[in-house]
Amino acid sequence: MQIGKIVIGKTDKTQNNSNKTNAYLLNEPIKDSFVKTKAVESVNKRLSTADACKEFDNLNNTEWNNKYSEKDKKAFASLYSKKAIDFDTIKKVGVKSDFNMDSMSEIYLMGKDINDSEFTDKLSKSLDTLDKNYKVTRFERSKYEPDTEYSIKIEPKNPTVGNAKMLSFSTEKFEVIGETEKSSNIDTERRQYVEVITSKDFRNNTESVKSSYHDKETLGTAVYKEVITHKDKNGNVTRKDILSESPIEGIFNLKYEYPNGEFKDVVKASVDEKTGIKTIKKDMESSNGTRTEFLYEDDPNGNRIIDYKITKSDGKVLLKQSQTFEVIDENHFVSSKNGMKYEIEKSDKELKIKNLHHNTETSIKFDKMIKGKHQQEVVGMLKKLSGDELFDVVDSLNKIKSNPHEKNLYSYYEPDKKSISTADNLFVFLHELGHAKDSAVKRKDTPDEDNEFYVGNKNIREVYLKERKAFNKNFPPAQRDHIDYFIQARGHYQGQWGGLSEIVAETNALANTYTDSSVKELSSRTHYLQQHFPETIAAIQNAMEYKNDIFAIEFYGT
């Protein structure tokens, strides 16, 4: 093996808790499923819904100048019957805003949830501080920090003076802590419409500009550029973080630029023009100084190496992994991970995998395991999997449903059937296999109510919550949105630990491959996860290795 040249060996010249019954879609749209039922009755006797509607009509005709329509009245009646709204909120914030009933319900419920009887009063006073040239149109409770943050949308009364903005607030002082503005324009270089999100974070003195476009091939939205400018308390620029497309489609370059003209390559991806070798080098730090060093290389023949190291600021190594994959010929492969070596052989009917350390074998019989019209495409993908992951396929799955290539982003795992529905993308499959590993392992030290082994791990949960808190403190919604799938605390379709469940799955993928051009929509989320959640990733990877070590001792002896 030679770093930078991918020479591993001789190569044949002839080679050419959520509800567990629901599928876990890789790119499932996250819908806010929050049910507004947490409100409690006032100390005063609560009116019946019918009487409340009569009172609403009375107030609307007298004090509120007929501000609310019949549609608003029906919305009020529905929310009131669920104890999800009150008159006080409408009187204090409704009359000085264009909030609809849903927004006022969110305000009422947030005050109840955080047990702040003065929440509505404080919010009302904060509205008085806003620019009078804008109208206040929507309230949104933060899905990332639902107990301490919320946003208010303001729109210019005169549309020619600017764009709508989302203002972020903290419940600590009820002052604006950031603002986000969206716009659309034509990128002359890309020759297409793009969306630009400009965000200012007043807590950390940063301003970011994030650009994305609609990908016609995958029909998804892909970020292609982001610049974060850091400033000191006097407004002087201290650093710019420039995220941009690299020669390897699906991977970003990240560069830090300093006022003195110096720069640092944090992530650098390149393709050697002579050999075709792809190289991805990462040397990143999270907010607390935890360092991630990552090297990925592959060549046109399919050989690859991956080195992964995570080190705390005090020098403690949290994770150290080294793996290789060598193509002997089109049907024979050798992989290794941390000294454990595997031989893989493909025939017309099956893949045979041998663990050379324990002298054990397993196999994947194509007709038995892989169903659907696109079996051979999936077989081609499985040939690229390392031996340890192929053993996990056998241990964790009963079936693989094959999909066409264009359905990559619609892959999912069904735990009740131990089945993955997937196309031929390695990253996507490894993500779903991460879900399968999490559900397939069950030991006595896992809480009974937890169906997922790694998500139920107390240490992993603690590390995840710590890093999530630090990330939210250091980044505004514009950057949080990159990884909403992993950090959404409220309304995640998999529930309280849904984000961690997705990190477990994504960790299994990013530790073994990268997001290529066919899943480039996932590039920014994987980049942010890998840089800013290194301790969570290390805890998950170590738990997976621990499981493998323990099982190896149980089944094969020492």
pLDDT tens-digit readout, 379-415: 999 999 999 999 999 999 999 999 999 899 999 999 9
pLDDT greater than 50 at residue 443: no
Cβ-based neighbours of 264, under 8 Å, separated by 6 or more:
255, 256
What is the predicted pLDDT for the residue at 20?
A: 39
Give ∠ CA 22-24-28 in degrees, rounded to 5.
110
Length of the chain: 558
Tokens of 375: 């079996």
pLDDT, greater one: 256 or 409: 256
Contact of 321 with 308, CB cutoff 8 Å: yes
What is the predicted pLDDT for the residue at 19?
A: 40
Give ∠ CA 394-395-400 in degrees, rounded to 5.
45
| Nearest Cα to Cα of residue 507 among 460, 445, 440 | 460
pLDDT tier at 551, thresholds 50, 70, 90: very low
Read off the pLDDT of each residue in 132-153 and give the average, rounded to a whole number.
Answer: 97
What distance in Å separates the CA atoms of residue 381 and residue 379, rounded to the nearest whole number?
A: 5
Contact of 182 with 197, CB cutoff 8 Å: yes
pLDDT, greater one: 303 or 7: 303
What is the predicted pLDDT for the residue at 504?
A: 97
pLDDT tier at 191, thresholds 50, 70, 90: confident
φ/ψ (deg, to 5) at 330: -65, -10
Read off the pLDDT of each residue in 474-485 and give the average, rounded to a whole number.
Answer: 96
Cβ-based neighbours of 312, under 8 Å, separated by 6 or more:
289, 290, 291, 318, 535
pLDDT greater than 60 at residue 434: yes
* pTM of the entire predicted model: 0.88
Lowest mean pLDDT among 41-45, 283-287, 465-469: 41-45
Read off the pLDDT of each residue in 514-523 and give the average, rounded to a whole number.
Answer: 93
Q: pLDDT (tens digit, 9 = 90+) per residue, 59-111?
A: 999 999 999 999 999 999 999 999 999 999 999 999 899 999 999 999 999 99
pLDDT tier at 441, thresholds 50, 70, 90: low
φ/ψ (deg, to 5) at 405: -55, -40
Contact of 145 with 489, CB cutoff 8 Å: yes
Cβ-based neighbours of 69, under 8 Å, separated by 6 or more:
none
pLDDT tier at 218, thresholds 50, 70, 90: low
418: left (phi over 0), alpha (psi -120 to 50) or beta: left
Tokens of 439: 């559900």
- Average pLDDT value over all residues in the chain: 89
What is the predicted pLDDT for the residue at 7?
A: 52
Contact of 415 with 439, CB cutoff 8 Å: yes
What distance in Å separates the CA atoms of residue 505 and residue 499, rounded to the nearest whole number?
A: 10
| Nearest Cα to Cα of residue 514 among 174, 271, 343, 234 | 271
What distance in Å separates the CA atoms of residue 285 and residue 272, rounded to the nearest whole number?
A: 27
Tokens of 124: 């009302």
pLDDT tier at 234, thresholds 50, 70, 90: very high
pLDDT greater than 60 at residue 24: no
What is the predicted pLDDT for the residue at 221?
A: 79
Tokens of 224: 């292609």
Tokens of 271: 């393709």
pLDDT tier at 26, thresholds 50, 70, 90: low
Contact of 94 with 104, CB cutoff 8 Å: yes
Lowest mean pLDDT among 150-164, 184-198, 468-482: 184-198
User: How many other CB atoms are there within 10 angstroms of residue 16's CB atom?
Assistant: 5
What distance in Å separates the CA atoms of residue 354 and residue 344, rounded to the nearest whole number?
A: 7
What is the predicted pLDDT for the residue at 349?
A: 96
Query: Percent of the chain, pLDDT > 90?
Result: 80
Could you identify the residue written with the tokens 């499985």? 382
Pairing of strands 221-231, 206-214: antiparallel
pLDDT greater than 60 at residue 42: no
Contact of 378 with 400, CB cutoff 8 Å: yes
Q: SS3 breakdown of the chain: % helix, strand, coil, rounded to 5?
A: 35, 30, 40
pLDDT tier at 52, thresholds 50, 70, 90: very high
What is the predicted pLDDT for the residue at 30?
A: 28
pLDDT tier at 193, thresholds 50, 70, 90: confident
pLDDT tier at 192, thresholds 50, 70, 90: confident
What distance in Å separates the CA atoms of residue 486 and residue 30, rounded to the nearest whole number?
A: 11
What is the predicted pLDDT for the residue at 547?
A: 54
What is the predicted pLDDT for the residue at 45?
A: 66
| Nearest Cα to Cα of residue 297 among 312, 283, 307, 284 | 307
pLDDT tier at 9, thresholds 50, 70, 90: low
What distance in Å separates the CA atoms of residue 503 and residue 356, rounded to the nearest whole number?
A: 31
pLDDT, greater one: 25 or 509: 509
DSSP 8-state secondary structure symbol assigned to residue 187: E
DSSP 8-state secondary structure symbol assigned to residue 44: S
Q: pLDDT (tens digit, 9 = 90+) per residue, 300-321?
A: 999 999 999 999 999 999 999 9
Contact of 413 with 23, CB cutoff 8 Å: yes
Contact of 165 with 180, CB cutoff 8 Å: yes
Lowest mean pLDDT among 11-20, 271-280, 439-448: 11-20
pLDDT greater than 50 at residue 255: yes
What is the predicted pLDDT for the residue at 498?
A: 95
For 37, counting Cβ atoms within 10 Å of its Cβ (0-12 exposed, 13-18 middle, 19+ buried), the class is: exposed
